[in-house]
Chains A and B, each alone.
Chain A
Amino acid sequence: MDKTIATLADAVADIPNGATVMIGGFGGAGSPVELIHALIDHGARDLTIINNNAGNGHVGLAALIEQKQVRKLICSFPRSADPRAFTVAYKAGEIELELVPQGTLGERIRAGGAGIPAFYTPTSVGTDLADGKPTAEFEGRPYVQERWLKADFALIKAELADPHGNLTYRMAARNFNPIMATAAAVTIAQATTIAPLGGIDPENVITPGIFVNRVVHVPNPQQEEALNRAEAVYP
């Protein structure tokens, strides 16, 4: 078994128009910038994107939005140092926003990956974000029912991968990446280093390869924060 794919373009080539795509990262940390840029080059449109944020500057997710490839965004915090790409599209009515509390977003993704269609959480009880959702009381406290989130594809960023798709992450670049890997029909990971089989101690594997379908080698990955400080624009 060898899940490595030769090029970024090959890795994203079958993402169709209208697909739901989870993109890992929190702000720039863990953002798979090269895979997002490959998706821009590929050109799929009318995408529903699931990410914590809405991009920053004119690279990565912000660039995907600027290229008008995103129809809907599901996120917790669509603001950043430079959120113009999303803000302009949102105010023009070109992009739909589903705002989800951050912990609920994470748990909906986890539930999607774990085969749990719905769960109850105290988060958002009594607020506008609970409008229209079923509630129930447990041990005397009210909870809101939330539903799983699943995707057709997940684009994630790993530090180390092997040909079976076992992954590790680097520091706080882990964030949403491991849970998104579990919740998509096809998970595509870019990895800074690809080790031979046996090259990752099983004790240290964070995402077991069963959750990963494709691995692309991206040595020296770009950092969104560094690109924005250099005022980079993609494409």
Chain B
Amino acid sequence: MTDIDAIKLSNAQIAWRAAQDIADGAYVNLGIGFPEMVAKYQPPGRQAIFHTENGVLDFGEAPAAGDEDWDLINAGKKAVTLRPGASFFHHADSFAMVRGGHLDVAILGAYQVAQNGDLANWSTGKGGVPAVGGAMDLVHGAKRVAVLTDHVTKTGEPKLLAECSLPLTGVGCVTRVYTSLAVVDIEGGNFVLREKIPAISFDELQAVTGAELKTDGPVADLIVPEL
């Protein structure tokens, strides 16, 4: 059996792959943490407009240390900068953009994704202090809802499943999953394999996936630069 940890893509490489599918001028919300990396890997000549739930469109990179303005932060409470053409708005308008179908893409992390598009990413169900933020809103309304994730958990359990066992963030909401091993679409209640890294065989990939991987055409090689 192939050692998955030795061949899998890094988080940066997963983010790079997701960035290739974002069109110039697309309105995009990136979830806190790992999905934020997508912004760095936009192909040359393309510039998406990034939305943050706390009321900014078209923000840019973090300022230099010492130049932070704490009235100008993103949803992760990190200082950001503005790009020419930026705008501010209040929370009701911000989530009108989210639920009203105005975002082209929302990209989130995941604990689990089910083959019907169910997403679990807000609660491990273990108690502690529950917190949901904007995740349950973001999975409804964006034209595409994509997930970035390791293909398996730290203990090697599949994260792509027939059904989620953890508390759901949304039902039937995910349209594409970018994992550390593959690109998988969710269509008609099935995982449809589009790309896989060349170092893993289809059978090996199926073995670490918790539901059947369908194909409806050739599966492309998932080729990502060293980052």
Q: Which residues of A contact B (CB under 8 A)?
A: 26-30, 52, 76-81, 83, 86-87, 90-91, 97, 99-107, 109-110, 121-129, 169-179, 206, 223-226
Contacts and interface: CB of A to CB of B under 8 A. Distances in A.
A30 B108 CA distance: 26
B48 interface: no
Contacts of A27: 54, 73, 77
Interface stretch (B37-45, B124-132, B210-218): B124-132
B201 to A, nearest CB: 35
Given A81-B77, A127-B170, A223-B70, A99 B88 contact: no
Given A99-B132, A103-B94, 17 more contacts: A26-B91, A52-B91, A77-B133, A78-B130, A97-B130, A102-B53, A105-B91, A106-B94, A123-B136, A126-B171, A127-B136, A127-B169, A128-B123, A171-B71, A172-B73, A179-B92, A225-B68
Contact of A226 (B70, B123, B169): B70
Interface residues of B, number: 39
B131 A176 contact: no
Given A76-B131, A122-B140, A174-B55, A106 B92 contact: yes
Contact of A179 (B69, B90, B99): B90
Contact of B70 (A29, A79, A99): A29
Contacts of B141: 122
8 contacts: A27-B54, A29-B54, A102-B91, A126-B118, A126-B168, A127-B168, A172-B52, A176-B91
Given A79-B129, A127-B169, A170-B71, A109 B136 contact: no
Interface centre among A101, A109, A170 (most CB of B within 10 A): A101
Interface string B110-137: 0000000010000100000111111111
Across chains A and B, which 5 residue pairs bring their CB atoms closest together, nearest first? A103-B95, A103-B137, A126-B171, A106-B91, A102-B134
B55 A172 contact: yes
Contacts of A178: 90
Nearest to A141: B140
Contact of A125 (B52, B54, B171): B171
B167 interface: yes
A229 B137 CA distance: 31
A175 B118 CA distance: 29
B89 interface: yes
Contacts of B135: 101
B148 interface: no
B134 A103 contact: yes
Nearest to B169: A127
B72 interface: yes
Interface in B130-171: 130-137, 140-141, 167-171
A87 B71 contact: no
A90 B129 CA distance: 8
B177 interface: no
A29 B73 contact: yes
B98 interface: yes
Interface string B27-69: 0000000000000000000000000111110000000000011
B92 A107 contact: yes
A175 B171 contact: no
Given A86-B129, A87-B129, A173-B71, A123 B53 contact: no
Contact of A103 (B73, B99, B167): B99
A171 B69 contact: yes
Nearest to B82: A171
A170 B53 CA distance: 16
Contacts of B169: 127
